[in-house]
Amino acid sequence: MILVVFSHLYIPNRTVINLFFINFRMPLFFFISGLISMRIEQEWGHTEFVRRLKTKARTLLLPILIFGTIYTYARGFSFEEFIFHEHKLGYWFTLVLFEMLAIYYTMRYAIARSSKGSVLARAVVILFLAAVGLSFLWSERWLEAPLPTLFSLSCLLRFLPFFAFGLVAGYYRKGFDDMVDRKGVYLGAILLFGLLSWARIAWDGGIDVVLCLMVGFAGIIMMYGSFRRLRDILTDGTVIGRSMQYVGRHTLEVYVIHYFLLIGFGGMLYPYVATSTFPLSPAIVGLPLAIAIATLSLGIGWLLCRNRHIAYYALGKR
């Protein structure tokens, strides 16, 4: 989330360091979401299916609708502009995550009603291949029509392959972990990610689908492999581990609140960064600010959660 806040400090954030982060940031988020969603032994009867959909609607859709609406009027936009904005003025990715989960839940429910066994394995692989194929449509002009923008369909098509990749990795978890733990695979992913990132940055953040997919998958393996190699440091027995796990558990608060703290911020920061000749100035200035804003968002979220109704309906708490 710190990298997300950093990206939003000033828009457009076309700095080299942000373009580098973009190449793995959102693909990794959706991959992890798919990875932790794959629980092979879960029951998928009608009651469980409906309950899971209702829970995700409350925890993912209600917060962005409530905070997104308030933010929209705070920025001087209309509700219609918010609803039909492709990126929902920034509040798009929990909507897209809900849509991905709805696809996955429907698939699991259909499998549970029809058959068992190895069908799930084939289904997640087919979903992954279908998602990769559909991702080639995400920059089509027809996706700018009102109905596709209502559902942020372009973003769904763009990032669904990474969520589906997470489902496949979750199903074959041990084999995937063993593969990523191999030194050659890990170093190869780093090298490939570096080369592809350089190519994409040199292309000024070009949106060629093949390049976006390849750099996303390489970035996922690179970061997942890094987390596995640092897992002794990232456990809840260390300060770093506890801090990262706390932010991870409260990602939604940072996401929905930090936009309010950035109103007018880009106009102050952008001229400095844009005119600076020192290439690391965006990181030196932006990353500490992003950490500070994320921390403040967590504090505001903690205060809001003192009210159990706000906590339950607006911030997705149990």
Q: What is the pLDDT of residues 49-68, one digit of tens each?
A: 999 999 999 999 999 999 99
The span from the CA of 240 to the CA of 47, in Å, is 39
312 Cβ contact list (under 8 Å, min separation 6): 58, 318
Summary mean pLDDT of the chain: 88
The confidence band for 208, taking pLDDT boundaries of 50, 70 and 90, is confident
The confidence band for 16, taking pLDDT boundaries of 50, 70 and 90, is confident
* Cβ(138)–Cβ(148) below 8 Å: no
Domain locations in the chain as residue ranges? 38-171
The span from the CA of 104 to the CA of 114, in Å, is 15
The confidence band for 201, taking pLDDT boundaries of 50, 70 and 90, is confident
**Among residues 244, 235, 231, which one has the least CA distance to residue 2?**
244
- First CA to last CA across the chain, in angstroms? 22
User: How many CB atoms lie under 10 A from the CB of residue 1?
Assistant: 20
The confidence band for 148, taking pLDDT boundaries of 50, 70 and 90, is very high
The span from the CA of 40 to the CA of 36, in Å, is 11
Find the Cα–Cα–Cα–Cα dihedral 177, 183, 184, 187, rounded to 10°. Answer: 100
* Cβ(149)–Cβ(93) below 8 Å: no
Verdict on whether the full-model pTM lies above 0.85: yes
List phi, psi (to 5°) of 289. -65, -40
Q: What is the pLDDT of residues 93-124, one digit of tens each?
A: 999 999 999 999 999 999 988 866 568 889 99
The span from the CA of 68 to the CA of 95, in Å, is 11
The span from the CA of 15 to the CA of 13, in Å, is 6
Structure-token match 């904005």, residue found = 85
pLDDT of residue 185: 96
